[in-house]
Amino acid sequence: MQKLDVAILGATGAVGQRFIQLLEGHPWFRVCEVVGSHRSAGKPYAEAARWILNDNPPASAAGLTVKALDDPLQSPLVFSALPKEAAITRELALAEAGHVVCTNASANRMLADVPLLLPEVNAEHLGLLDVQRRKRGWNGGALIANSNCTVMPVVMALKPLTKYGIRRLHLVSEQAVSGAGYPGLSSMDMIDNILPYVPGDESKMETESLKMLGSFDGDGIRALDMVVSATCTRVPVIDGHLINISVELDEGPALASIIDDWVAWRAADPIPALPSAPAYPLQYLDQVDRPQPRRDRDAGHGMQTSIGRLRECPILGYKFAALSHNTVRGAAGCSILNAELAAVEGYIEGFHAVETAQAL
Amino acid sequence: MQKLDVAILGATGAVGQRFIQLLEGHPWFRVCEVVGSHRSAGKPYAEAARWILNDNPPASAAGLTVKALDDPLQSPLVFSALPKEAAITRELALAEAGHVVCTNASANRMLADVPLLLPEVNAEHLGLLDVQRRKRGWNGGALIANSNCTVMPVVMALKPLTKYGIRRLHLVSEQAVSGAGYPGLSSMDMIDNILPYVPGDESKMETESLKMLGSFDGDGIRALDMVVSATCTRVPVIDGHLINISVELDEGPALASIIDDWVAWRAADPIPALPSAPAYPLQYLDQVDRPQPRRDRDAGHGMQTSIGRLRECPILGYKFAALSHNTVRGAAGCSILNAELAAVEGYIEGFHAVETAQAL
Amino acid sequence: MQKLDVAILGATGAVGQRFIQLLEGHPWFRVCEVVGSHRSAGKPYAEAARWILNDNPPASAAGLTVKALDDPLQSPLVFSALPKEAAITRELALAEAGHVVCTNASANRMLADVPLLLPEVNAEHLGLLDVQRRKRGWNGGALIANSNCTVMPVVMALKPLTKYGIRRLHLVSEQAVSGAGYPGLSSMDMIDNILPYVPGDESKMETESLKMLGSFDGDGIRALDMVVSATCTRVPVIDGHLINISVELDEGPALASIIDDWVAWRAADPIPALPSAPAYPLQYLDQVDRPQPRRDRDAGHGMQTSIGRLRECPILGYKFAALSHNTVRGAAGCSILNAELAAVEGYIEGFHAVETAQAL
Amino acid sequence: MQKLDVAILGATGAVGQRFIQLLEGHPWFRVCEVVGSHRSAGKPYAEAARWILNDNPPASAAGLTVKALDDPLQSPLVFSALPKEAAITRELALAEAGHVVCTNASANRMLADVPLLLPEVNAEHLGLLDVQRRKRGWNGGALIANSNCTVMPVVMALKPLTKYGIRRLHLVSEQAVSGAGYPGLSSMDMIDNILPYVPGDESKMETESLKMLGSFDGDGIRALDMVVSATCTRVPVIDGHLINISVELDEGPALASIIDDWVAWRAADPIPALPSAPAYPLQYLDQVDRPQPRRDRDAGHGMQTSIGRLRECPILGYKFAALSHNTVRGAAGCSILNAELAAVEGYIEGFHAVETAQAL
């Protein structure tokens, strides 16, 4: 099978590196363009990127020459790990030029015609791409966003409970440092210490969750009507965001029923067959002290969400903890899964549907 | 001034060591008996205790011979850092034998006639000692408890808000490892990791807070009528518990009024003049990312509570973070302050009131 | 291919868990007996073991019933992760009863007829098994040890340099906490702190290295004549021991020649074809700040040794840093590799040589 | 007593903040000028400095207006925490303009006429100020440097041993992150990790130690003739550098004699009476696992050096560990002690010798 060429924007940063790591050996996609800052442009990737993940950059990417942000790209599929400012205009320009852009940047997430896609949760939001193309006159291009990394485990855990009616949601996160990129947080702040504040994340929790759990009516997303209160804190953990969740439901299911809902939950076809989809989107851990970031973040190759500690909340009815890997499921891995879904749904022209069908 | 002799139960453990450290150079009390396990009994303290605080044990304590748990004591005042099982009967027996026992153990906290004392908050609960003596026939003895270390910063921060009527309280703690004693938590659990569960603490949060904020009617404590939901987690921090608090009030004061309440709040006389009382019980930090455990736990020599991040909560109305030092304000330091109050209020026979008055 | 049954002694501890994790899906061996303390005996493994590695215990082991230490075993191959005291007699008794015992315990390492095996370095020491059987009258049984986890990266890095003559070796280690087992080191000692001392390890470094690099003369090991000075310290790292090495050689090769020696070095046949052998035993990292524990410990699935920072030492001539994964290469992984070598060399009766040959 | 006005260069950085913290309440000096970058100039100090030490900046400094680097200064005494590039010319210019500059920057340390002062060790090097003034034509100005923070505990521990003749010195450091300033090292590098390299520090160890232990002949420093090999590593510790030291002496004193030398060692008059001098420059800790950074860095208010683990080294004869607080003794605290010595020795014109004499 011939693979689809992909480009990575912001390739030398922390999330960019995760894209390159996760795409190594991908059955459908192959990285052939890496885009960095002006300082990096023209250098071999291995030299331009200070590799911060384990081991060294994969050989396939190490030799690529870094392109500048404004250089034209030939890859039909583009992953964006750009900083917010750079993302605003560049992502839209690339989509207009015919590229399908899957972005992890927050810049364009809340645009009305940009899906905040989490395939297991809201695959039907992909229909917004038709709206995009119609309204913006895009020919083959598209822009697909994924949410903030802290929102994802919350929405994954809530989706099977939407049938009970979700009224109010109280969230307190304990977030890993990789969420702030590299160098990101100073070691002087994160040894024998925590930070009670994560700039910008609380409002993202309170808005993006409503959009992701909303319904697509053929023209736009109607946000879920739910009240969300979020507190975001930072802890000395490398990867893995844990969120302490209290939720109020319209109905009053038994605790055991909720666990059954989580364990039985599966994504709709064709999602379970996508290369990056975990075998099971959720796992419920019985041990009283789980999930834990270091021990559970890599479940399902970092794409599974782990839940534990379901019990009654005297105020909102139910409380529990959810965790997922913030730079895999919560960033690069989700963007790749989004692209896989867009590919099999026919939104990426260069993708050879027949061969894919075989692969599936 | 002659000092009052004090004994320390559980003197070789983590909280016992903190008692010894904080009592070094105390103007009223001097440690003259240290009590440990059978394994430690008969050894010099410096040899029996694996000192885990900074530096080395103070010379005054280093040479004391450790007594066994059942050995008779001569000190009028006894501080207890016993494990729960050992505390249940021993503390009551010592009180019956005429000692004033100030305990940090949880064993007898919720007995109806034992005050859960936090001088700035509920000094009037000390009146329970008269009830104790009357009902139990104790002659000069008494038992005074302090609360769980995680409850304290919550109650301190709430006290000035009780005038608005507190209805519901949602708590998510991020607790330091010293709360589990020594060796306590394994380093294998606390590097690049957090634990979403602290055994026993959630129920303590949900019950002890009601008792501490309750009113004393001359015969017993009427608990505050308030709904509390607590989630307790453990983070890789040595000292300092941070609690993310959401609270619902009957009234709707402005945020600025609440900050004014905190800043203006003072304990009633004679508490501000006690040797271990902080100059100000509370401080409000304006920086958006404070309080932080390492930077704020030592405020007021570890006896002050730091508050920050007051803002609106879409669900309960108000949310903020509070922090205090869990083994100083939250354990040994609070017991000592409790003893100081009991002394000046005349509950410790051996305490020379006249000289104290001079000291004040 | 039918797999060889193996038993694991000390299966519920930290190294025992690593054995179970690494043997999951092993092409030749399958865990069918797990042995624990009297407290664990009779329980299902998943219940008896507080699993401290990532995720949960593999399903294949989770359902095994834990046996007591003295229960008879049927597996021809036994891996031992016993504490030292328990290991002394039990390992010898099992070898006498006909089992091939591959041990990670230190108890019997320095017995004259027990090989301290590191296949890439001293495969010929396996010949000591013939001496063992002859002198002790063992029939099919054998005892193979691996060294202390801190010695291994040192010996791996030195082996290619033995041709230059090694005179003196100065070692300062920075060791991960998993080397102390679970719960092992207190979190109170390992947050914002290091320990300048690791009980017992310095003397192991100074003796085991001489035996491992020694020569087998058909009857015993003649230790290498080399002076070793070791300092062992503990740092807040989960896995991966880093050792700062200064070495004096008889000859004075260029730095570049030494790097070439490392990069070109391969184990002799049949070692490179063993299932647990890394593709390359060593890697030399050019970056000035590598190797690093978190980023390099998993190289070669935790079985590769990473070296960096080779430069001149004004005192001993050469200095560099070496690192490997202490519970994989330095413990369970090495024992498994040792067993694989013993199997293909015909020392394990139950191992089907023909099928193995096919596998190779 | 009227206090001497002092200025602080680089006042908003990590070491600058430590100067301000340590000078709060100083009996002789008072901070009246703070100098920062162009970005900070004109702002109140409390606003310009992101305070990273505990609590908040002292009130006395909080209200000072930050000056720009080139602004003229009126304070006779200037402490410099400038980055290297900025320090080179500015420090010399200020000295030429008549200020006594005590610098923590490395820029001018190795100039032949600049003393690398550590009062307990080489107070006589202060005589270089006369050389400076004579050769450079300075009138009242002077430049006094202190060494790299990692060198200090080494030199402190070695000074009492110089009588035995020091031949060779092998050093492996484990350094705290505060040595790299703020933000300095990324938290992504310092969680579950160590770095085997500290840029620039190894050569400083190998040169500055020779100068500090050298002798002043009235005209310059004759460096000690000693071979030094240094390896510098970084560990996840906030403050406190630990160095593993092996040393070869001409003579062969008993271990007990060396400990006696350390314990008995005192600085010459008038140093013990200086406000920032520790009561004892060294302490020897008997526990096998000390010194430790968190537990011992604050000994002597951070100005004492802690030593432990003295034992035989099979290669160089003796080995031990030494530790001191890198931003107190190793940076700001040492500069202040240097200034105190210069003041009482008459090198600072504005210092009122008579009143000082009373203070002493």
Distance CA D305, CA D208 (A): 18
Chains that touch D (3 or more CB pairs under 8 A): A, B, C
Q: In chain B, which residues have their Cβ closer than 8 Å to the Cβ of C183?
A: 183, 185-189
D55 contacts B295? CB cut-off 8 A: yes
Distance CA D144, CA D94 (A): 12
Measure Cα distances from A176 to A80, A238, A240, A329, B236 in Å.
21, 5, 6, 13, 12
CA D359 to mean position of chain CA atoms: 24
Q: What is the complex's ipTM, to 2 decimals? A: 0.95
Q: Where are the alpha helices (DSSP H) in chain B?
A: 14-23, 45-48, 59-62, 84-96, 119-122, 128-136, 151-158, 187-190, 201-212, 255-264, 293-296, 333-344, 353-359
- Amino acid at residue number A140: G
Q: In chain B, which residues have their Cβ closer than 8 Å to the Cβ of C189?
A: 52, 183, 187
Distance CA A91, CA A82 (A): 9
β pairing state of C305-313 and C317-324: antiparallel
Q: What is the pLDDT of residue D358?
A: 53
For residue A236, the chain D residue with the least C-alpha distance is D191
Q: Label residue C90 exposed, middle or buried (CB < 10 Å: 0-12, 13-18, 19+).
A: buried
For residue D173, the chain C residue with the least C-alpha distance is C172
C191 contacts A54? CB cut-off 8 A: no
B187 contacts C186? CB cut-off 8 A: yes
Domain with CATH 3.40.50.720 in chain D: 4-148+332-359
Q: What is the pLDDT of residue A334?
A: 97
Q: What is the pLDDT of residue C2?
A: 85
Residue A220, SS3 per DSSP: coil
DSSP track, B38-68: TTTTTSBHHHHS---SSS---HHHHTPBEEE
C186 in contact with B at a CB cutoff of 8 Å? yes
Q: What is the pLDDT of residue B360?
A: 56
Spell out the residues 6+ positions from residue A141 whose beta carbon is closer than 8 angstroms to its own. A94, A95, A96, A97, A98, A99, A100, A101, A133
Map tokens 């991960």 to a residue. Answer: C176
Q: Confidence band (pLDDT; 50, 70, 90) for B1?
A: low
Distance CA C319, CA D229 (A): 9
Chains that touch A (3 or more CB pairs under 8 A): B, C, D
Distance CA D325, CA D304 (A): 8
Q: In chain A, which residues have their Cβ closer than 8 Å to the Cβ of C298?
A: 54-55
C14 contacts B191? CB cut-off 8 A: no
A192 contacts D187? CB cut-off 8 A: no
Q: In chain B, which residues have their Cβ closer than 8 Å to the Cβ of A196?
A: 242, 244, 289-292, 308-309, 321
B228 in contact with A at a CB cutoff of 8 Å? yes
B186 contacts C186? CB cut-off 8 A: yes
Tell whether domain D151-325 is in CATH 3.40.50.620.
no
- Which of A229, A292, A321 has its CB closest to that of B246? A229
pLDDT in tens, B166-203: 999 999 999 999 999 999 999 999 999 999 999 999 99
Q: What is the pLDDT of residue B355?
A: 56
The pLDDT > 90 percentage for chain C reads 95
Q: What is the pTM of this model?
A: 0.96
C244 in contact with D at a CB cutoff of 8 Å? yes
Tokens in use for C264?
Answer: 């070109």
β pairing state of C4-9 and C317-324: unpaired
Q: What is the pLDDT of residue B136?
A: 97
| B 23-62 → D contacts, CB under 8 A | 52-56
Q: In chain C, which residues have their Cβ closer than 8 Å to the Cβ of D294?
A: 191-193
pLDDT in tens, B194-252: 999 999 999 999 999 999 999 999 999 999 999 999 999 999 999 999 999 999 999 99
Q: Confidence band (pLDDT; 50, 70, 90) for B2?
A: confident
Q: In chain A, which residues have their Cβ closer than 8 Å to the Cβ of C55?
A: 295-296, 298-299
* Crossing angle of helices A201-212 and A151-158, rounded to 10°: 30
| Gap from A191 CA to chain C (nearest CA, Å) | 6
Mean pLDDT per block of 10 residues along chain D (360 residues) reads: 92 96 96 95 96 92 96 97 94 97 95 98 98 97 96 98 98 98 97 98 96 97 97 98 98 98 97 96 97 98 98 98 97 98 94 58
A191 contacts D186? CB cut-off 8 A: no
At residue A63, does pLDDT exceed 50? yes
For residue A307, the chain B residue with the least C-alpha distance is B196
Tokens in use for C190?
Answer: 């390992």
Residue D142, SS3 per DSSP: strand
pLDDT in tens, A137-179: 999 999 999 999 999 999 999 999 999 999 999 999 999 999 9
Measure Cα distances from A96 to A81, A103, A139 in Å.
18, 15, 7
Distance CA A75, CA A98 (A): 10
Q: b/e for B76-102, b at 16 or more Cβ within 10 A? A: bbbbbbbeeebbeebbbebbeeebbbb
Map tokens 């634990």 to a residue. Answer: B195
- Which of A177, A184, A186 has its CB closest to that of D184? A186
B339 in contact with C at a CB cutoff of 8 Å? no
A69 in contact with D at a CB cutoff of 8 Å? no
Q: What is the pLDDT of residue D16?
A: 96
- Taking residues C189-193, what's their average pLDDT? 98
pLDDT in tens, C30-89: 999 999 999 999 999 999 999 999 989 999 899 999 999 999 999 999 999 999 999 999
Best interface-test mutation with A: which of B177, B193, B198 has the largest number of A CBs within 10 A?
Answer: B193
For residue B301, the chain D residue with the least C-alpha distance is D55
Among B297-311, C52-66, C112-126, C224-238, whose mean pLDDT is lowest? C52-66
A194 contacts B237? CB cut-off 8 A: yes
- Percentages helix, strand, coil for chain C (3-state, rounded to 5) are 35, 25, 40
B238 contacts D55? CB cut-off 8 A: no
Residue A103, SS3 per DSSP: strand
Q: Confidence band (pLDDT; 50, 70, 90) for C358?
A: low
D302: region left, alpha or beta (phi > 0 left; psi from -120 to 50 alpha): left
A293 contacts B192? CB cut-off 8 A: yes
Q: In chain C, which residues have their Cβ closer than 8 Å to the Cβ of B238?
A: 188, 191-192
D124 in contact with B at a CB cutoff of 8 Å? no
Mean pLDDT of chain B: 96
> For residue A172, what is the enclosing H or E element?
strand A166-175
B270 in contact with C at a CB cutoff of 8 Å? no
- Taking residues B16-41, what's their average pLDDT? 96
Q: What is the pLDDT of residue C354?
A: 41
β pairing state of D241-249 and D282-285: unpaired
- Which of B182, B188, B192 has its CB closest to that of C184? B188
Domain with CATH 3.30.360.10 in chain D: 151-325
Catalytic residue numbers of A, as ranges? 149, 241
CATH value of D4-148+332-359 in 3.40.50.720, 3.40.140.10, 3.40.50.2300, 3.40.50.300 = 3.40.50.720
Pick the catalytic residue: C99, C125, C149, C334? Answer: C149
CB pairs under 8 A between B and D: 28
Q: Confidence band (pLDDT; 50, 70, 90) for C350?
A: confident
D193 in contact with C at a CB cutoff of 8 Å? yes
- Taking residues A134-139, what's their average pLDDT? 97
At residue A359, does pLDDT exceed 60? no
For residue C294, the chain D residue with the least C-alpha distance is D193
At residue C348, does pLDDT exceed 50? yes
Catalytic residue numbers of B, as ranges? 149, 241
